[in-house]
Amino acid sequence: MAFITANMNMNTSLEKHGIVPDVLDHPITPTTLLKVDYGQNDVALGNLLNPQQTNEQPEIFFVAPEQDAYYTLIMTDPDAPSEQDKKFGPWRHWVVVNILGSDLKTVKSPENQHTPYIGPGPGKDTGTHRYVFLLYKQTKGKQQFEPMEHEQKEQRRLFKLRQFETDNHLELVTANFFCCPT
């Protein structure tokens, strides 16, 4: 009898939908699970949700691997402007920093909204977009993050995810994602 772990299930989904290698360089070893809740609609490793279901900032839940550590949450769309033409991806939809592991209410703290939430808005006939949530441990603890412009749509294009990870000493702990067909 085969034994399937959460780790195997997550990586199978990430690879099946091309999150590995389009967003992540390689499979991950998650140390927790990330629940993303849009009211009646949960994000579940590639399920289908539409823009109307996801236009409001979701609730975030996870059991922190380290309760006294700080975490960063990133939501990105690698398929901007379209599934076939990713010239603007990854698109930075949401960045929350300094989330205290023992107090998930800090996800909603205005001072932690590095990039305020903007819901999916794929253009008509642009194919299926993948919206990826990445949760990182901040290995240097609570910290100051360099501000990034986000008021104009153009400022959210071409998010340099790897550079952001390196510059801010982020260590990936888990991921989740949904797909949004147009």
Q: Is the pLDDT of residue 31 over 90?
A: yes
Q: What is the mean pLDDT of the chain?
A: 92
> What is the predicted pLDDT for the residue at 152?
87
pLDDT of 136 reads 98
**Structure tokens of 147?**
């501000």
Tell me what percent of the residues of the chain surpass a pLDDT of 70: 96
Q: How many CB atoms lie within 10 A of CB 56?
A: 11
In the numeric block, the tokens 């009211």 are attached to 39
Q: Residue 41 above 60 pLDDT? A: yes
Which pLDDT does position 8 carry in this prediction? 64
What does each C-alpha distance from 4 to 11, 26, 30, 80, 102 come to in angstroms?
A: 11, 19, 14, 33, 29
Residues in Cβ contact with 68 at an 8 Å cutoff, skipping those fewer than 6 apart: 100, 101, 102
What was the pLDDT predicted at 150? 87
Higher per-residue confidence, 49 vs 2: 49
Beta strand segments in 57-151, E: 59-62, 70-77, 91-100, 113-115, 129-138
Tens of pLDDT, residues 62-84:
999 999 999 999 999 999 999 88
The continuous run of DSSP H or E covering 172 comes out as strand 170-180
Query: Sorting pLDDT into bands at 50, 70 and 90, what band is 107?
Result: very high
pLDDT digits (tens, 9 = 90+) for 122-176: 888 889 999 999 999 999 999 999 999 888 888 999 999 999 999 999 999 999 9
Task: Give the DSSP letter string of 48-62.
Answer: E--TTTTSSPPEEEE
Say if residue 115's pLDDT is above 50: yes
Which residues, in sequence order, are CB contacts of 79 under 8 Å at separation 6+?
Answer: 86, 89, 122, 126, 127, 128, 129, 130
